[in-house]
């Protein structure tokens, strides 16, 4: 095997403490497309990538997850919409990288379970 073997993300898993509270946050507050429950797991569809919320299966799997960056067209508009829905942000939208033809913006927030998430947007100069 050679070349680019990993070319697509199929699923991202996020640990949660309270599955029903987390489902409500991701479905109702963030407006993600809920797919289904399977035991202590819940699945969402994000444009073909599954987001799995789950209770840790064993104590050794109970650790904070990675930051998930959700790409949005207009970060300031998404930020304001989420503020209105009760999302608590860690930071306001701000430029993290200035490129020749665009700037990369980010705004960080926490979900209902304390996981750090982020909005990101590429804005033309």
Structure confidence at residue 60 (pLDDT): 79
Q: Cα-flanking dihedrals φ and ψ of residue 44, to 5°? A: -125, 150
For the chain, the maximum distance between any two Cα atoms, rounded to a whole number of angstroms, is 49
* CA–CA dist 31, 28 (Å, integer): 5
* Residue 50 forms part of a structural domain: yes
* Residue 98 forms part of a structural domain: yes
- Residue-number span of the structural domain to which 110 is assigned: 11-124
Structure confidence at residue 61 (pLDDT): 77
* Residue 5 forms part of a structural domain: no
* CA–CA dist 116, 97 (Å, integer): 20
* Residue 3 forms part of a structural domain: no
Structure confidence at residue 5 (pLDDT): 56
Asked if residues 119 and 73 have their Cβ atoms less than 8 Å apart, the reply is: no
Mean pLDDT by 10 residues, the chain (125 residues): 68 93 97 94 94 88 83 93 94 93 93 92 90
Which CATH number is 72's domain given? 3.10.180.10
Please choose, from the candidates 72, 59, 60, 62, the residue with its C-alpha nearest in 3D space to the C-alpha of residue 13: 62
* Residue 2 forms part of a structural domain: no
**Number of domains the chain is built from:** 1
Rg value, the chain, Cα: 16
């Amino acid at each position: 095997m050679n070349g680019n073997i990993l070319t697509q993300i199929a699923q991202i898993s996020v640990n949660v403490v309270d599955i029903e509270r987390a489902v409500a946050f991701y479905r109702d507050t963030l407006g993600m497309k809920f797919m289904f429950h399977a035991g202590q797991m819940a699945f969402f569809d994000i444009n073909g990538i599954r987001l799995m919320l789950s209770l840790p299966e064993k104590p050794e799997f109970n650790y904070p997850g990675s930051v998930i960056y959700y790409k949005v067209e207009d970060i300031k508009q998404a930020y304001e919409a989420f503020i209105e829905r009760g999302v608590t942000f860690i930071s306001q939208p701000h430029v993290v990288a200035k490129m020749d033809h665009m700037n990369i913006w980010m705004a960080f927030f926490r979900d209902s379970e304390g996981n750090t998430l982020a909005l990101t947007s590429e804005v033309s100069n």
